[in-house]
Copies of this chain bind each other. A is one copy, B any other.
Amino acid sequence: EIIDECRSTDRHPKFTKDFPSGIEYYQIEEVTNALAGADLLICGVSSFGVDWFAGKILPLVPENLPVLSVTKGLIDGGDGNLISYPEYWQRHSAPRKLCLNAIGGPCTSYELVARDPSVVTFCGDDTGVLQRLKEMMETAYYHISISTDVMGVESAVALKNAYALGVTVAVGLNEKYNGIDSKEHYNSQAAVFGQATLEMQKMLRLLAGSDGALYVGIGDLYVTTFSGRTRRLGVLLGRGLTLPEALKELEGITLESNVIIERLAVALRSMSKRGTVDIRDFPLMAALGEVFLDGREAYIPWEDFVE
């Protein structure tokens, strides 16, 4: 229905501006037509579409056609270790070697449509390809840095979906304490934000072996704290709703944060059991794990932050 509406109106039903002229729209049954002669394939599935994309689309993609994905997340590589989606898709496509790249950084789609200045990072294995993609995509308001640290960038921007929920839990707790209609307070959320970046830095060293991509993730954490679905869920949990109650209130919404929190919390417990991490280094993620895996009421472990 979305494609049908775009074809008749040149506008996505969720946007308030038309697409620029010259756009062609394809139904999924027409994907081979869409791919014929393409310079670039952009993948915008949610985490729930990652396997569909691997099974239905990637087999049709030529090895020399660059793929650029906006999906943010990490996934169990099959051995208990978390890997990036580009890595997951490459493993699925072996022995073919695809040209898989991804976008990280703070970039809310509505604001990009409004042509607000935005800074993102394109990551992939080949600097030449990344430079070509940058030249294809950059505009006066869309600024692109490039990085070959795929696991770093992908981990950083996946982590922010988990940690932004923690920050917004503090917003909801404050509303409960001061009154939902009170002026927004910032001390609590700032304390959680600082702790979130500290845990993200430690997680990056664990997952990617380097924390160089932290600053991409911090910008992304900031934007996610203030926009969208993650914030709505975190605030509801902070106000005292249980997870099932909050999810019921947000019915029909795709929640990337839930997916990544569960995966990270499971991975953290597993690493802690194996003795490869001290879970006390990650008190915020441990608390989020208790909420999402054990059904505990949302809370912030303040005293664990200062030990």
Which residues of A are interface residues toward B (Cβ below 8 A)?
Answer: 105-108, 111-112, 114, 116-119, 143-145, 170, 173-174, 177-178, 184-191, 193-195, 197-198, 201, 214-216, 218-220, 222-223, 226-227, 300, 302-303, 305-307
Contacts and interface: CB of A to CB of B under 8 A. Distances in A.
A227 B119 contact: no
Contact of A106 (B194, B300, B303): B194
B178 A193 contact: no
Given A187-B108, A187-B111, A222-B186, A306 B119 contact: yes
A302 B177 CA distance: 40
A116 B174 contact: yes
Nearest to A144: B306
A190 B223 contact: yes
A306 B216 contact: no
A302 B143 contact: yes
Contacts of A215: 194-195, 197-198, 201
Given A184-B226, A190-B223, 12 more contacts: A105-B191, A116-B174, A116-B187, A116-B188, A118-B188, A119-B194, A143-B302, A145-B305, A145-B307, A186-B223, A201-B215, A222-B222
Contacts of A188: 111, 116-118
A187 B106 contact: yes
B306 A143 contact: yes
Contacts of A145: 305-307
A197 B212 CA distance: 12
A117 B191 contact: yes
Nearest to A174: B116
A226 B186 contact: yes
A184 B222 CA distance: 13
A170 B106 CA distance: 14
A105 B195 CA distance: 11
A188 B216 CA distance: 13
A305 B303 CA distance: 37
Contacts of A194: 105-106, 119, 215-216, 218-220, 222
A187 B114 CA distance: 11
Contact of A187 (B189, B197, B216, B223): B223
Contacts of A119: 191, 194-195, 302, 305-306
Contacts of A117: 170, 173, 187-188, 191, 300, 302
A237 to B, nearest CB: 16
